[in-house]
């Protein structure tokens, strides 16, 4: 009886030491990007959508976007469509609806950071109609309002798809947009 109690006590102690040591090592070993620790809850939530053996283009895109978000310490949210986004600054007023005019500054770039288009570099914001842009923008704009600054991580099926955007975006390429909604 005494032997069982001793064995059980040692087993519990060993589990506690392993659990505490493992957690401590995770914290010490966690990646640091721009001086910030990657949030383990965010990472776990993202990996829930990660595909071990991606087959479809959508699965491959999702894995690339998840890796980008983790590598860049982005606390992104995922939409059912596969669009990932982060609101960097809240705006004011009602959210946009399809058919509304909108004005924005934006930079579009690839996962490797190369910019393929930028209204900022041109020095002229884009005025457009919500619903007339790529599907990723159209979906993202529905949770934005005037003054919002957001980052959209767009899988290729919501971006420029199998055709790409000749001269700018190759076919089947996930893209990222930094968007700032300006007053009209």
At 115-166, the pLDDT tens digits run: 999 999 999 999 999 999 999 999 999 999 999 999 999 999 999 999 999 9
CA nearest neighbour of 153 among 87, 55, 54: 87
- CA separation for the pair 151, 170 (Å, rounded): 21
pLDDT of residue 38: 55
pLDDT of residue 48: 86
- CA separation for the pair 136, 15 (Å, rounded): 47
What percent of the chain stands above pLDDT 90?
Answer: 70
Per the structure block, which two tokens stand in for 108?
């579009």
In the chain, how many domains are there?
2
State yes or no: pLDDT of 17 exceeds 70: no
CATH number, residue 154:
3.10.50.40
pLDDT band at 37 (very low <50, low <70, confident <90, very high): low
* Partner residues linked to 176 by β-bridges: 109, 153
* Average pLDDT value for the chain: 83
Q: Does 91 lie in the same domain as 25?
A: no
Q: Does 18 lie in the same domain as 58?
A: no
93-118 pLDDT, tens per residue?
A: 889 999 999 999 999 999 999 999 99
Q: Does 54 lie in the same domain as 136?
A: yes
Q: Does 133 lie in the same domain as 46?
A: yes
pLDDT of residue 116: 97
Global pTM reads 0.78
Positions of E strands within the chain:
32-33, 36-37, 77-78, 84-89, 101-109, 115-118, 126-129, 149-154, 175-182
- 83 neighbors 152 (Cβ within 8 angstroms): yes
Q: Does 50 lie in the same domain as 24?
A: no
Residue 33 backbone class (left: φ over 0; alpha: ψ -120 to 50; beta: rest):
beta
Q: Does 120 lie in the same domain as 81?
A: yes
Q: Does 88 lie in the same domain as 144?
A: yes
State yes or no: pLDDT of 10 exceeds 80: no
Length of the chain: 184
Per the structure block, which two tokens stand in for 52?
């071990």
Q: Does 70 lie in the same domain as 15?
A: no
Q: Does 80 lie in the same domain as 5?
A: no
Q: Does 75 lie in the same domain as 4?
A: no
Q: Does 149 lie in the same domain as 118?
A: yes
Q: Does 62 lie in the same domain as 9?
A: no
Name the residue range of residue 10's domain. 1-30
């Amino acid at each position: 009886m005494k032997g069982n109690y001793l064995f059980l006590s040692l087993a519990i102690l060993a589990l506690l030491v392993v659990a505490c040591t493992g957690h401590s090592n995770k914290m010490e070993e966690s990646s640091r990007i721009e001086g910030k620790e990657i949030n383990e809850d965010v990472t776990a939530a993202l990996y829930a959508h990660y595909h071990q053996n991606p087959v479809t283009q959508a699965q491959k895109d999702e894995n690339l976007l998840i890796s980008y978000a983790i590598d860049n310490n982005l606390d992104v949210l995922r939409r059912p469509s596969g669009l990932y986004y982060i609101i960097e600054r809240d705006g004011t007023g009602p959210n946009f609806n399809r058919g509304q005019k909108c004005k924005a500054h934006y930079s579009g770039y690839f996962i490797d950071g190369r910019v393929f288009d930028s209204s900022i570099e041109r020095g002229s914001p884009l005025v457009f109609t919500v619903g007339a842009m790529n599907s990723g923008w159209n979906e993202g704009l529905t949770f934005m309002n005037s003054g919002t600054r957001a980052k959209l991580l767009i899988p290729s099926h919501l971006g420029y798809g199998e055709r790409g955007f000749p001269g700018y975006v190759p076919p089947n390429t996930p893209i990222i947009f930094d968007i700032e909604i300006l007053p009209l």
